[in-house]
Amino acid sequence: DAGVIQSPRHEVTEMGQEVTLRCKPISGHNSLFWYRQTMMRGLELLIYFNNNVPIDDSGMPEDRFSAKMPNASFSTLKIQPSEPRDSAVYFCACRLAQETQYFGPGTRLLVL
Amino acid sequence: DQQVKQNSPSLSVQEGRISILNCDYTNSMFDYFLWYKKYPAEGPTFLISISSIKDKNEDGRFTVFLNKSAKHLSLHIVPSQPGDSAVYFCAAPANNAGNMLTFGGGTRLMVKP
């Protein structure tokens, strides 16, 4: 198994542009999480899906952020419009039942 | 309001010695705790966990101790190796169902050869 796959690994964009981050979870893992890591706030949960359904999005910073999971093997996190303060490393993680979460390698986003 | 806190942002230890990473929490209802390890340019990986009904869990060189009265847990690495140099996060369930995690801010461990 290739583990959690995230793309792109690095993204540099200009303020105001739309950014789409992608995640392919481990096959069969029915829970998916999007996290953001910054120096100031550490690792914070943005949104959690279970069986493709968003369960808790209380961590999503504001309306500029949206996430979808159209099927069990794909999820996106979109930022529109992006701002410099969105610069961070974004992680996708997945989980099977009660087991621990497995993280992807992350997408390092820089908004200029 | 951070429910899990790691007050030491960094720790430097000599190879072969013990590394002790600390974590404090505020919610006495947490059922379990986890430690994750993160190398640069990689995602966090699960290291070790402990149930709240235990006070110690050991896995090779890694031992986690839980002091419920003090709401404190610690990760001991003995002996420390240069390959242990990484950022360590403690985590606890963020909701009653336990399917979401809340993480501490992390501690960067540097093991010097």
Single out the residue of B53, B47, B55, B49 nearest to residue B92, CA to CA: B49
Per-residue pLDDT reduced to its tens digit, B36-83: 999 998 999 999 999 999 999 999 999 999 999 999 999 999 999 999
Spell out, as residue ranges, where chain A has pLDDT lower than 50: none
Q: Which of A100, A107, A108, A109 to mutate to test the interface with B (most CBs of B within 10 A)?
A: A100
- Give the model's pLDDT for residue A62: 85
Q: Which residue of A has its CA nearest to B93?
A: A100
Task: Determine the pLDDT at residue A26.
Answer: 95
Kindly list the residues from chain A whose CB atom is less than 8 angstroms away from the CB atom of residue B43: 4, 91, 93, 103-106
Q: Quick check: B98 and A98 CB within 8 A?
A: yes
A interface residues, B as partner, C-beta within 8 Å: 4, 31, 33, 42-45, 48, 50, 55-56, 91, 93, 95, 98, 100-106
pLDDT at B64: 98
Contacts with A102 from chain B: Cβ below 8 Å: 45-46
The nearest CA of chain B is from the CA of A72 a distance in Å of 17
> pLDDT tens digit string along B4-46?
999 999 999 999 999 999 999 998 889 899 999 999 989 999 9
What is the pLDDT at residue A39? 84
Q: What is the 3-state secondary structure (H, E, C) of chain B?
A: CCCEECCCCEEEEECCCCEEEEEEECCCCCCEEEEEEECCCCCCEEEEEEECCCCEEEECCEEEEEECCCCEEEEEECCCCHHHCEEEEEEEECCCCCCCEEECCCEEEEEEC
Q: How many CB atoms lie within 10 A of CB A29?
A: 18
Closest alpha carbon within chain A to B89: A43
